[in-house]
Structure 1
Amino acid sequence: MFPKKTVLSVAGILAATLLASACSSGDDAGGTAAGGPGSNQSATPASVSIEPADANGVSPTTPIVVKAANGKLTGVTVTNSKGKAVEGKIAADGLSWTNSEVLGYGGTYHVVAHAQSADGKPVEKAGDVVTVSPKKQANANLIPAPSAVKSTGVGVGQPIVFSFGTAVKDKAAVEKALTVESSPKQEGSWYWMDDKNVHYRPKEYWQAGTTLTVSAKIYGVDFGNGVFGAEDRTETYKVHDSWIAKADGSNEQMQIFHDGAMVKTMPISMGKDATPTHLGAHVISDKQANYTMDSCTYGVCPPDPKAYRSDEKYSQRISNDGEFVHENPNSVGQQGSSNVSHGCINLNAANAQWFFQNFGLGDVVEVANSGGPQLPVWDLYGDWSKSWTDWQKGSAL
């Protein structure tokens, strides 16, 4: 039996040995604790996505977007079928790339993207984006032609018209792409006259001096039935000072207002009972110093008693069914006393020339007490025949 002191010494040695062994666990294998410095566990690999992914029939205005996750993009190339690169840029954070160049119709675009994960491992992703091939492309034709009124401007009654030349099935989609910005600002709205033509007018006549910026951002817009917008268009119109004529069939007089002030009164002869002049606001759409008026142009031909053909001077069209303001020496005796025309507003030579010199496209002729029906909204510029509430109902939105 050992002495007590000797037993305690052996126990202490055993405890010290166990403690040292616990503190150095794993060292003999040459490893490290999980997740510590020098760990051989790899980082999460980077991934790349292409949007729209392997898409067919995409609108050319839909952007190609390349995105990286768990890493950053190091390079992206997009080329068309001819090998031409599409311009684009990687975002400052390296997480995305978007094309800055608009794509074309009927194109195949090959996308190759490279990215790198946090541990430097590269990743590559490739894909194709195919844009739609329209059956037909529609242009946004503007009326009046901006070139025709560049030097003169337009009158306060001028509607803005887009004529597409082909039927529009999805009117709402197209209308969303159309804008008219007025300075000073005025409330306005679109009205679809038919499947091909849409008009824009303000609630009230344009303010004199207004600038109108008209845009059709229709490229890539689906009109329906395989028709897509051909190209975007933006034009500017200037509204000149206000010229409004008020023609009254009850006294055969026409008062002329310039910027709200009456400046002249002239005797007139309007449409006779068989061919009365339409009521309401008319807008001048054309002016010719010499013009042959032929009722056959709107379907009234001999032997119809309403048919006519004559050469007239200082003629300004106010509707599309043969109504003009013009000189007529044959009715001078009736001007100021009776209405004898085929629907036109007749003037004597001096007044017709004065009117021709001062009035032009977009200026207004308001007709009252003619005995005729209201000018139809579809009759060229019958836009002002509708109340504002009814006009707004013609919008597709």
Structure 2
Amino acid sequence: MSRLDELIAELCPDGVEYRKVGDIANISRGKVMSKDFLKENAGEYPVYSSQTENEGKLGSITTYMFDGEYLTWTTDGANAGTVFYRSGKFSVTNVCGVIDNVSEDVNTKYLYYVLNRVAPTYVNSGMGNPKLMSNVMARISLPVPPLEVQREIVHVLDSFTLLTAELTAELTARKKQYDFYRDELLKPKADIPLVTLKEIATDIYRGSGIKRDQVTEEGIPCVRYGEIYTTYNTWFDNCVSHTQLEYVSSPKYFEHGDILFAITGESVEDIAKSVAYVGHERCLAGGDIVVLKHKQNPRYLAHVLSTQQAREQKSKGKVKSKVVHSNVPSIEQITIPLPPLDIQKRYADVLDNFEKICTDLNIGLPAEIEARQKQYEYYRDLLLTFAETGSTLVTDRQTDRQTDRQN
């Protein structure tokens, strides 16, 4: 019998009490902070927002709103319901909720692990904008075993989290190493001519708008510009989305070998991210996508357009209404080294192998991280539902959840 089994048998043999978040902690929200404000007040204290990339960090400023041990959660948008454990000095924006002043008989880290599991199930996705507002968070009912049991659960789950973090750090280091190697391999050389994309393009044009509600389970394969940032890496051979031809008034197609650029984005650093399509179906290009047709090796172009030298050229996009834009004339002027086709293929093959080691979920560190994450989720769910079986409070909890989803 494990230490946790012993504690449960001794301290809560008949199940545990369920309590609502609003009864065991204080709930508040952050405040509006613009990108200009962050730039004008740049400092050492992190500001967290609704994003999940980089642990939700949006920037750093000279002051802080909170100091201590807290939980935050994303209240609006695609990541609504994502919960973070925070400690130290920090601030949050208005799309973050804050949980503090946790009761003395509740371990904050334990509360984090429970909410990390259940909070996403309370997200209201109605009206196209997912939300988990403060009043709903306050009504979430959670199992609260004795502190000794909470601490032992935290100890077990922290062990899994630490291992995953160490593996992730190692993978991040390898990706940086890959980026450095790719940039060195593909940097301009005296014996390789430099050309503009305009010189190698056989055609270049913009796609046609496909709205989110026009994406269907079946139909014509298509790509929307946001998917270039979130779904596709250097190249892809299958589209994740489809639509119906009647939804698109002026359809624009892309085919095998074409390069797709996303010409609208949220950051100068990522604007005009590009991917190569190496599949064999004829697909539709959504709005804010530029399609480049050519007679070069598409995988080589995809790699060379991901280098730091190419990204610096792409970052000359114009900022309008806090959104970054690029256009066909800007993309046409991007300069790249262009070796003969046989050398292009050789470069592409080498870089594909390096990239696969860093990203393929079936091999190496990515596979190990994926396995550890699944193991963590399995034990998290097992540990945090230990008291639910046979508890009369489960029915109350499920009823609360159904009511909260409707509100």
Structure with more of its chain in helix, by fraction: 2
TM-score w.r.t. structure 1 length? 0.25
TM-score w.r.t. structure 2 length? 0.24
